[in-house]
Amino acid sequence: MTESELAAIVGRPIPGGTYTIEPYVDWLLNDVVGSPRNGTVAHPLFAYISVAVGKGVSWDEVFAICGATAADGPMFGEHETVLERPLQVGESFTVSGEFVSAERKRGKRTGVFDIVGFRLALTDAAGELAASTYNSIVFPRRDA
C-alpha cells in the first residue's frame, strides 16, 4: 500500500448496522467475567461488543481496506471506550463509524508499519449517542 493509498483511507465510512443486547448474551458475558447481573443494566463490555459485531464488516474486510490480510500479522493497537450512559439489556442500537487516521511509521527493529484508527458510534432508538469507541490497528509493511 502506498502512502497516498493509506491517506485515502481517512474519512472512509464503515458500513455499520444494528446490534441488540440480548438477555441471554448479557447473562453469558456476566457469567464469563464473574460479574453480578441485575437483568436491566448491561455489562459495560457491551459498548465494545456492540460496535465490533454491528460494524457491518468483518475483521478480514477491515484488513483488506487497509491493504492487508490476517496473514500479514496485524496487531491491535489502542482502544478507548466512552460510555455516555449505561446500556440496557434488550436495547437495540445503530452502529456507524469511519476511519479517522492513517499514519506510516518506521521502527529500528520493526521496520515500516502503518497505524490505522477508526471510530465507531452506538446510537440508541432516540438517535442519542450511547457509547463510542476508538481503535487502532498496527499493520506491518514488510514490502514498503
CATH at residue 113:
3.10.129.10
The model carries a pTM of 0.89
CA distances from 24 to 6, 29, 31, 67, 87 (A): 41, 9, 10, 37, 15
Residue range 134-142: mean pLDDT, rounded: 94
In three-state secondary structure terms, 29 is helix
Q: Provide the number of structural domains found in the chain.
A: 1
Would you state the pLDDT for residue 110? 83
State pLDDT tens for residues 28-47.
999 999 988 888 999 999 99
**3 close to 104: Cβ distance less than 8 angstroms:** yes
CA distances from 35 to 28, 80, 143 (A): 10, 21, 45
